[in-house]
Amino acid sequence: MIVKTAQGRVRGTVERGVARFLGVPYAAAPYGADRFAPPRPHDPWAGVREARSMGPTPPQVPYAGGLEKVLPSVIIHGEEVLNLNVWAPAEGTGHPVMVWVPGGALTRGGNALATYEGSAFARDGVVLVSINYRLGAEGFSVLDDAPANLGLADQFAALRWVRDNIAAFGGDPGRVTVAGQSAGGGAVAALLAHPSAGELFAQAVVQSGPLAPGRAGKARRITRLMAKELGVRATREAFARVPPEELLACQTRVLAKGVGFGVVPGDELVPSDPGTALLAGAGAGIPLMMGHTAEEFRLWTVPTGKIDKIGRLHVLAARVRFRDFAARRGASSGDVFGALVTDALLRRPMNTLADARRGRTWMYEFAWRSPVMDLGAAHATELAYVFDTLDSSDAEMIGGPGRPRELADRMHAAWVRFVKDGDPGWPAWDEGRPVMVFDSPGGGVVRTSGSP
The yes-or-no answer on residue 296 being catalytic is yes
Residue 105 domain-assigned? yes
- In this predicted model, what pLDDT tens digit does every residue of 90-108 receive, in sequence order? 999 999 999 999 999 999 9
The closest alpha carbon to 126, from 165, 144, 99, belongs to 99
CB of 401 within 8 A of CB of 393? no
Catalytic residue among 296, 314, 333, 412: 296
Q: Is residue 44 part of a domain?
A: yes
User: Please, which pLDDT band fits residue 451 given cuts at 50, 70 and 90?
Assistant: low
pLDDT at 315: 52
pTM for this prediction? 0.94
Phi, psi for residue 237 in degrees, rounded to 5: -60, -45
Q: Which candidate in 379, 382, 392, 412 is catalytic?
A: 379
Note whether 100 and 180 are within 8 A (CB): yes
Mean pLDDT calculated for residue range 277-285: 96
Asked whether residue 164 is domain-assigned, the answer is yes
DSSP, res 186: H
Residue 95's nearest CA partner among 155, 19, 26 is 19
- Give CA–CA dist 191/185, Å, rounded: 10
Residue 230 CA to residue 224 CA, distance in Å, equals 10
pLDDT for position 345: 86
CA distance 175 to 166: 11
φ and ψ at residue 3, rounded to 5 degrees: -125, 140
Quote the CA–CA distance of 264 and 218 in Å, as a whole number.
9
Task: Identify the three-state secondary structure at position 87.
Answer: strand
The answer to the question of residue 225 being in a domain is yes
208 noted as active-site residue? no
Q: How far is CA 181 from the centre of its chain?
A: 3
Taking alpha carbons only, the member of 118, 180, 121 closest to residue 415 is 121
Domain count, the chain: 1
pLDDT given at position 338: 74
Whole-number Å distance between alpha carbons of 214 and 350: 15
Q: Is the pLDDT assigned to residue 368 strictly greater than 90? A: yes
d(CA 355, CA 377): 25
Q: Answer whether residue 92 is part of any domain.
A: yes
Q: Predicted confidence band at 226 (pLDDT cuts at 50, 70, 90)?
A: very high
Report the mean per-residue pLDDT for the chain. 93
Q: 264 vs 216, which has greater pLDDT?
A: 264
Q: Evaluate whether 202 touches 104 at the Cβ level (below 8 Å).
A: no
Residue of 397, 387, 298 lying closest to 339 (CA atoms):
298
Calculate mean pLDDT across residues 412-417.
98
Nearest to 381 by CA among 282, 271, 371: 371
From 141, 182, 208, 370, active-site residue: 182
Specify the CATH number for the domain of residue 414: 3.40.50.1820
- 357 lies in a domain? yes
Domain range for residue 139?
A: 2-447
Helices (H) and strands (E) counted in the chain, each on its own, are 16, 14
The pair phi, psi for residue 212, each rounded to 5°, is -125, 145
**How many angstroms from the chain centroid is the CA of residue 386?**
13
223 in any annotated domain: yes
| C-alpha distances out from residue 111 to 23, 65, 68, 81, Å | 9, 23, 18, 10
User: Based on the number of CB atoms within 10 Å of its own CB, is 444 exposed (0-12), middle (13-18) or buried (19 or more)?
Assistant: exposed
Query: Is 77 annotated in the active site?
Result: no
Q: 157-200: per-residue pLDDT in tens?
A: 999 999 999 999 999 999 999 999 999 999 999 999 999 999 99
Residues 270 and 149: beta-carbon distance below 8 Å? yes
Kindly state whether residue 452 falls inside one of the protein's structural domains: no
Number of Cβ within 10 Å of residue 33's Cβ equals 9
Residue 339, helix vs strand vs coil = helix
